[in-house]
Amino acid sequence: MLNVPSQSFPAPSSQQRVAPSGRNKVGLKPGRSLMDWIRLTKSGRDLTGLRGRLIEVTEEELRKHNTRDDCWTCIRGMVYNVSPYMEFHPGGEDELMRAAGVDGTDLFDQVHRWVNYESMLKECLVGRMAVKTSTVSQAQLNTEKKISPVNGLPTTLPALVLEPPSAPPKAPPPPKDHRPRFDWFQTESTVSVVVYTKRKIPNAGCAVIDLQDGALRMEVLLGKLSYLLHLRLSHEVEECISIQTVSTVGTVQVSLRKAAKVHWTQLGEPLDSHDSFLRRKDRAVYFRECTLVSKTDITHDTRVFCFRLPRGSHMEVPVGKHVYLKALIQGSEVVKPYTPVDSTLMPDSEDPTDSGHTDIFLMIKVYPNGVFTPHLDALNIGDSLSISSPEGPFGLRLVREVTHLYLLAAGTGFTPMARLIRLALLNLDSLRKVKLMFFNRRERDILWQSELDALALQEDRFQVEYVLSEPSDGWTGRRGRIEAAMLADFLSSPEESKRLVCVCGPTPFTEHAQGLVREFGYSDEEIHAFQG
């Protein structure tokens, strides 16, 4: 029997992230939903064709299974028979067949790294790829450099040196160490940990702290990289955390209050991945249990869910970033990405929550026939849900010098735009105009319409226009779906402007909108697509 790794999410080697461009979806036959697939995997049916056996698979064997009815693929060293899953795959059979009989890890990562494939396909597991062993002959290892005869002298004698040897080249200077480092110090009542990032950092939002059961996990998010401290503290501390960031010199200081006034001789014992500096996509997604504290209706089918982090946790989700929600539904772990919003479109204060906690607001549309959102909607106040650290490629550098910001949103694709609008109007001195074109089916589907209208009246730089595909007879605004004609005036800007177009919505909308924007002369650097 093979030593099969745990199917929990995320597996230590998983790189489960969202591809920025999203993915195409196809219409599935009746009875082929995610819930139907979960029921099939629980039915006891043999989905591998091996009657429960696990085998080692060679590359030659993998290549043999490359047809629609006999399709094996490899993801991160594990081989799955995906033939039973063909009709359940939202991306269609053609996408799965691209990985038939070969290693499909790269294709998987390009489209949907965030999907919990270990849990989804655990009943389709065939086995592990056989490890190739590379051998080097002893003769190769023992080969010595031969010296050719010089002027007929034996090879054992040195050749005559006619010129003095040149001085050995100077060793190049050692490369500059860009790796962050940490230190710690204490007073009678506190212990402080300082991370020196060696670069400029934002004033807030780059440090995620989790203090649970005596273990301190401190992750500093540095663009595409992540620096992690993970320690079992040598003494008890209280759950309250104080964070101080100095952006210009790149330091993050976390102060903890000692449970007892004793002198610490060491900070603690290292845990997994302590003092590691990795690409964020190479680090496993980390979750903490958060508590539902409120639900607020926004429209007939959309609500704002407010989750509170544990008292020992601190996390600020930067503008444009998303988090993952994870829940166990009928025995299978389901993970979905959502972009946080503020409690309102333009909150009165920077931190409307209690100082001892961090609240996360998520505006989510509930689909009655969905898998995840009905489960989420059924949670009672006080119930818990797993929420990840911030993820996503968006960075403030994209909007730092923008003069004209154009936003194209469809449905709940408005959620990443909400905080971006506030950031732009309050913090971007160069900004001259923010224009939002908001697409929905009916008037009752428009999110925060009254707040958007009020902001447009109060702020000369902000403009909003609504487009409905199924309007009522009394609707006086734009009708239809996104097309080039309606974007002509919307995207117009002075020649000297620095412009950015942000797009978010269902995948077909996002891809079509990006194509239309390019037709108006916008470059790829001037277009950003959020995860829908």
d(CA 7, CA 123): 10
Give the residue from 96, 118, 109, 121 showing the smallest Cα distance to 17. 109
Amino acid at 204: A
Reported residue count of the chain is 532
- Per-residue pLDDT of the chain (532 residues), as tens digits, is 344 443 433 434 433 334 344 445 667 788 888 888 888 888 888 898 888 788 889 999 999 999 999 999 999 889 999 999 998 888 888 888 999 999 988 888 777 766 778 888 888 999 988 876 554 444 444 444 443 444 443 444 344 444 455 566 666 666 666 899 999 999 999 999 999 999 988 887 899 999 999 999 999 999 889 999 999 999 999 988 999 998 888 999 999 999 999 999 999 999 999 999 999 888 989 999 999 999 999 999 999 999 999 999 999 999 999 999 999 998 889 999 999 999 999 987 554 444 445 899 999 999 998 899 999 999 999 999 999 999 988 888 889 889 999 999 999 999 999 999 999 999 888 999 999 999 999 999 999 999 999 999 999 999 999 999 999 999 999 999 999 999 999 999 888 899 999 999 999 999 999 999 999 999 999 999 987 5
- According to DSSP, residue 371 is labeled S
Whether 290 and 309 have beta carbons less than 8 Å apart is answered as yes
Give the residue from 374, 357, 377 showing the smallest Cα distance to 303. 377
Whether 200 and 248 have beta carbons less than 8 Å apart is answered as yes
d(CA 197, CA 249): 8
Whether 317 and 205 have beta carbons less than 8 Å apart is answered as yes
Strands (E), 298-432: 302-308, 313-314, 323-329, 332-338, 340-341, 359-365, 384-388, 404-410
Q: Which two tokens stand for residue 419?
A: 């905080």
Q: For the sheet with 55-57, list strands across it.
A: 55-57, 125-129, 78-81, 70-75, 66-67
Residue 499 has phi, psi (to 5 degrees) of -120, 155
What's the whole-model pTM score? 0.71
Return all residues near 170 (Cβ < 8 A) that are at least 6 apart.
Answer: none
For 96, 153, 199, 388, the CA distances from 278, given in Å and listed in that order, are: 30, 56, 16, 18
DSSP 28-74: PPTT-SHHHHHHHHTTT--SSSSTT--EEE-HHHHHH-EETTEEEEE
Using the Cα atoms of residue 423, residue 425, residue 429 and residue 431 in order, give the sign of their dihedral: positive
Residue 445 has phi, psi (to 5 degrees) of -90, -10
